[in-house]
Structure 1
Amino acid sequence: MCDLHDQHEHEHGSAAGGHPSLSRRRVMQLLGAAGVTAAAMTAETDPAMAAAADETAADGADGAYKAPEGLADDSPAKKTALAWIGANSTRVTGLNAEIWENAELSLREWKSSLAQAEFLERAGFRVEFGTAGFPTAFTATYTQGSGGPAIGFSGEYDALPGLSQKKGVGHHDPQEYVHDPFAPGYGPGHGCGHSALGTAAAAAAAAVAQAAKKHQLPVTVKFFGSTAEETLIGKTYAVSKGVYDGLDAFLDWHPSTANATGWGTTTAMTAVTFTFLGVAGHGGTPLGNKSALDAAVMMATMSEFLREENLAPSGRLHWVINNGGDIPNVTPEIAEISYYVREGSPARVQVLLDKVIAVAEAAAKASQTKVSHRVTAACWNQLPAKAFAELLHENMRQIGPPEFTDDAHKLAKELQESLGLPAKGMHDTIGELTPPNPVFMGGGSTDVADISWNVPTVSMGAALAPIGTKMHTWSTAACAAAAPGQAAVLAAARYLAATALDLVTRPERLKAVKDEFTERTKGVEWKTALPAGYEPPMYEPPAWFLKKTGQKWPPENITWPPKRVVSQEKFASLGPELAPQK
């Protein structure tokens, strides 16, 4: 999912206009902070929100924030890394195109994970598959010397269902169309650009390794190939298992509609699926049947009534019925409805989640069905890193925006016209670094957030999709491995590699990042939002993949096969038989 998408406009608040005349706390007092009052921001009541708060907008006599200069160093190591990316640009863009063509869904990225792992192996990394028990997750490590910092890079490669689109085509034209007479649809596609995301991060990690080798810089470079980001499963569970322990800094990026970074936060989120069990029967003789679909529809309808009085502007509540039956003349015996519950902190998510659970129980009672629920994912809000963002922004500014060709702008304008948007093309400047919006108004979520509470973490966006469009769309899939995406992947690799090498060659920059992290996390004890006894969902890999990666199935951390979900409910009673009329 990567829900973290348009960083320039809102997701990280990275380029949202500051409010120089009012501090964040004051605005929150005046407006209720979208349901998050200043009192709620104190470390005692909600430490996660307090740590994410920012007063930069009130700094200075005129309240105007100015991004510092002189942070990034034009070092020989950085020149080597950037030159390596340029010299290997065809390999990098080729990897992006290969993963785009694979378009594999979460937890099933068999070919895509292997492609990224092999790219890093050729760059001298040692690769281990099965990170945190996930078959398609891997950790790649390169070590030069001893005593240097450990720098981590975030790789993702999962596609989204239903977003298939032909590469470089400016109107909706799915590459894979499902010809089903009752349920036509589209195949999966990289509508969030993860083909480019993992590729750019892998290229950056490889470039840093090459620079460290040539200039004898002590460093450990770690690349984390993460599964199932679109369902926010891969990293949250891996963090709880200590996968990211020992890192000094972690660099993350995401395809966007702009080139920008910042130090805003994200929403915490819990993903939960409700299963209703009823009794099947012929639709022509429905008396006594118990429709699980009726229960799911009732739940969906009732949950909409939460919006006016129970859902603050900082929250989000969205759902999909992912199992509602197969044919109208069979009363659905099992139905499932999945929710994403988002808010500004894990504590606020829990309050809203409890209300959603109450709605499910009411729907089950009204429909005479049985309900259960399971949490499939849960993450925190992201911890900001101002010093880190300032360093990354200066590198972005020095390197410059992606080098978009005329073909890239042409495709972007065709897509914009197709979607009814102004034909502005691609975003070809570096966005200004500005403080986050003083009032947190919600937005997307990311499983990188849990990493950010354990390791100093920075995130940024590079323009892969046209101005005004959105992630999780076929239009993004059209761009991801076409001219716009190929320019973005090379630019993102340069931004990440340059920033990482500043941390290696300028210890004071790394110290500033770590000092801020220590200060922000004072009094905050990160604890996974996943429930006790949580087992992550998984699919059994094909035999060829297990053999290729040297893994055995099942991993020790899951029960296999999973427990079957089978209804044992009884027909509903209609009461005593009616006496015949006389």
Structure 2
Amino acid sequence: MCDLHDPNEHSHEATAGSGLSRRQIVQLLGAAGIATTAVTATADPAVAATADSAVGVTEAQAAAYTPPEGLAEDSAAKRTALAWIEQNASRITDLNDEIWEHAELSLREWNSSLAQADFLRKAGFDIEFGTAGFPTAFTATYRRGKGGPVIGFSGEYDALPGLSQKAGAGEHDPREYVHDPFAPGYGPGHGCGHCALGTAAAAAAAAVAEAARRHRLDVTVKFFGSTAEEQLIGKTYAVSQGVYDGLDAFLDWHPSTGNATGWGTSNAMTAITFTFLGVAGHGGTPLGNKSALDAAVMMASMSEFLREESMGPSARLHWVINNGGDIPNVTPEIAQISYYVREGSVARVNSLLEKVIAVSEAAARASRTSVQHKITSACWNQLPSKAFAELMYDNMRQIGPPEFSAEAQRLAKELQKSLGLPESGLHDEISELTPPNPVFLGGGSTDVADISWQVPTVSMGAALAPIGTKMHTWSTASCAGSAPGHAAIRAAAKYLAATAVDLLVKPELLRGLKEEFDKRREGVEWRTALPEGYEPPMYEPPAWFLQRTGQSWPPENITWPPRRIVSKEKFSSLGPALQPQT
């Protein structure tokens, strides 16, 4: 799940005299009630670092906030970068559409990663595949001169399962329908818009490289093609391996329903899969069988009871049974249920995670099965950068919102009608920059968060999906491969490139970002949230991909083949046989 930037997060109706929106006041009142009944705990430094008070901003100053102007400079280098994006608009949208067509799932983005890498190679970047051992991750580097800053861009390209949709279709119409008389479904699709995310970031990186060439600006531009963002695996592990060390600034964006930036935080998260093992048997003679599916269902039910007394307002807990058997006439011997456990910091995630693990053990005891668990990913909450957000906002304001065609707005309204939403179209304004809500009430997670603790990081959103809709839906997939997505990509690439160029031509801005970053990090020691001995999950690449990218298999950081999970459980006893009655 990505960290999204939605203009609906900011009310434009600030209550007179308070500087807070109605929504913020309601949240404060609700949180105050929670605080008076909660058990007293030591303040979490990882949460305190995200507050404006960490950099000396008082409550009164935050309430009277007005975004500064004049940060973004209309330089010749910036004009070159923006012109490059316009001149290469068709190449850029072609890259998006190619990745959209592939719609490849996490850790298997064979064609998508190659397409993005080839685009950057043609722009003068050196490409190295296999970043942190991931076959589809790559690092693209452009260097000009010596001693200049190192600017990083974030690229992604994985799709989501079950969200296939025809591009530009206003009603649900899967592009890939999977026929199965017992379990029909849909193929994968770009329901989070990562085809656009990686494309716009690659275009911005190439535009900055062109500006540096033309205007003799010393810089190293690094583009990180990251795998498996939807599983929050690629960047979290890469950060733990030092991949993002040495950067001076990092720029990130995500498709959204609005055009906005800010300096809020995100939820930390741990992804964990529980595997229950039982004994298979005929459904018609079930006595003595041990159903692993029963255990998974019991766990799901019991974990729901955590919500009332064990989950704070910033917590999120969601699950899916991703292996529950194939046919009712065979008692499932193996079943798996996966959870995303989210909270405002790693420490709070771990507290909730302990309770979830306890539930799994109770379900195993009740069902007479065995259980094991594996953490597949874990990330921090995001460390914000107010100064970086202000610079990004000034550029967004000067460049203006995406230029949506009549075709794009028509599609958006068709989708809204299909989903039962007001037919308001696409967001065509730049949302006002406002301070984050004083009380963090939770939300999405992002593996960019771990990067944000290593280097000053900015995130922004550009409108790709219709107002009122959500990411991770087929409607987003429809937009990502058609007119709304194309407009969002051009705008996002310009916002990213313009902000990066400002850091090159105005070094004092970069110094300010670093000063704020150092202040926020005071007293916080970042350590990866991944468990000791963690091995990231991977799929074996096809031979042609290894040959194209110059890699060998397996990488050194995983055990291959992986350990097999096989049930060794025994049938359950019903006790001594009953004597026949006479």
The normalised TM-score by structure 1 is 0.96
The answer as to whether partners of 2:251 and 2:459 remain within 8 angstroms in 1 is yes
| Equivalent residue for 1:46, pick from 35, 39, 44 | 44
Tell me how far 1:73 sits from its aligned partner.
Answer: 0.5
Matches within 5 A, 1:165-564: 165-564=165-564
Tell me how far 1:64 sits from its aligned partner.
Answer: 2.3
Q: 1:163–1:26: structure 2 CA closer, same or farther, 3 Å change rule? A: closer
The answer as to whether partners of 2:5 and 2:460 remain within 8 angstroms in 1 is no
Distance in 1 between the 2:162 and 2:142 partners? Answer: 37
The AA in structure 2 aligned to 1:523 is G
Q: 1:116–1:16: structure 2 CA closer, same or farther, 3 Å change rule? A: farther
1:495-519 deviation line (CA, Å, top 9, x unaligned):
0000000011100110111110000
The answer as to whether partners of 1:193 and 1:476 remain within 8 angstroms in 2 is yes
Q: 1:373–1:341: structure 2 CA closer, same or farther, 3 Å change rule? A: same
Q: Which runs of 5+ in 2 are unaligned?
A: none
2:84 maps to 84
1:220-242 deviation line (CA, Å, top 9, x unaligned):
00000000000000000000000
Q: 1:212–1:300: structure 2 CA closer, same or farther, 3 Å change rule? A: same
The answer as to whether partners of 1:276 and 1:296 remain within 8 angstroms in 2 is yes
Tell me how far 1:369 sits from its aligned partner.
Answer: 0.3
Q: Number of matched residues?
A: 577
Distance in 1 between the 2:330 and 2:131 partners? Answer: 43
The normalised TM-score by structure 2 is 0.96
Distance in 2 between the 1:388 and 1:298 partners? Answer: 47
Tell me how far 1:109 sits from its aligned partner.
Answer: 0.2
The answer as to whether partners of 1:18 and 1:434 remain within 8 angstroms in 2 is no
Secondary structure class of the residue paired with 2:128: strand
Tell me how far 1:312 sits from its aligned partner.
Answer: 1.3
Tell me how far 1:45 sits from its aligned partner.
Answer: 3.7
1:358-391 deviation line (CA, Å, top 9, x unaligned):
0000000000000010000000000010000000
Tell me how far 1:21 sits from its aligned partner.
Answer: 3.3
1:427-446 deviation line (CA, Å, top 9, x unaligned):
00000000101111100000
The AA in structure 1 aligned to 2:44 is D
1:58 maps to 59
Matches within 5 A, 1:19-34: 21=18, 31-32=30-31
Distance in 2 between the 1:245 and 1:18 partners? Answer: 43
The answer as to whether partners of 2:19 and 2:64 remain within 8 angstroms in 1 is no
Distance in 1 between the 2:209 and 2:187 partners? Answer: 37
Q: 1:93–1:561: structure 2 CA closer, same or farther, 3 Å change rule? A: same
Q: 1:214–1:52: structure 2 CA closer, same or farther, 3 Å change rule? A: same
Q: Runs ≥4 in structure 1, deviation > 3 angstroms?
A: 13-42
Q: 1:371–1:498: structure 2 CA closer, same or farther, 3 Å change rule? A: same
1:408-435 deviation line (CA, Å, top 9, x unaligned):
0000000000000000010000000001
1:172-228 deviation line (CA, Å, top 9, x unaligned):
000000000000000000000000000000000000000000000000000000000
Q: 1:108–1:14: structure 2 CA closer, same or farther, 3 Å change rule? A: farther
The AA in structure 1 aligned to 2:18 is S
Q: 1:317–1:497: structure 2 CA closer, same or farther, 3 Å change rule? A: same
The answer as to whether partners of 2:171 and 2:414 remain within 8 angstroms in 1 is yes
1:69 maps to 69
The AA in structure 2 aligned to 1:154 is S
Q: 1:413–1:29: structure 2 CA closer, same or farther, 3 Å change rule? A: closer
Secondary structure class of the residue paired with 1:554: coil
1:254-296 deviation line (CA, Å, top 9, x unaligned):
0000000000000000000000000000000000000000000
Q: 1:38–1:199: structure 2 CA closer, same or farther, 3 Å change rule? A: farther
Secondary structure class of the residue paired with 2:281: coil
Q: Which runs of 5+ in 1 are unaligned?
A: none
Tell me how far 1:313 sits from its aligned partner.
Answer: 1.4
Secondary structure class of the residue paired with 1:321: strand
Is residue 2:114 matched to residue 1:117?
A: no
Bigger shift: residues 309-318 or 132-141: 309-318
1:8 maps to 7
Q: 1:208–1:20: structure 2 CA closer, same or farther, 3 Å change rule? A: farther
Secondary structure class of the residue paired with 1:5: coil
Q: How much is the aligned-residue C-alpha RMSD, in angstroms?
A: 2.2
Q: 1:38–1:48: structure 2 CA closer, same or farther, 3 Å change rule? A: farther
1:337-369 deviation line (CA, Å, top 9, x unaligned):
000000000000001000000000000000000
Distance in 1 between the 2:208 and 2:533 partners? Answer: 39
The AA in structure 2 aligned to 1:453 is W
The AA in structure 1 aligned to 2:8 is E
1:132-161 deviation line (CA, Å, top 9, x unaligned):
000000000000000100000000000000
The answer as to whether partners of 1:257 and 1:469 remain within 8 angstroms in 2 is yes
The AA in structure 2 aligned to 1:9 is N
Percentage of matched positions with identical amino acids: 74
Secondary structure class of the residue paired with 2:105: coil
Tell me how far 1:29 sits from its aligned partner.
Answer: 8.4
Distance in 2 between the 1:238 and 1:359 partners? Answer: 31
Q: 1:107–1:465: structure 2 CA closer, same or farther, 3 Å change rule? A: same
1:458-478 deviation line (CA, Å, top 9, x unaligned):
000000000000000000000
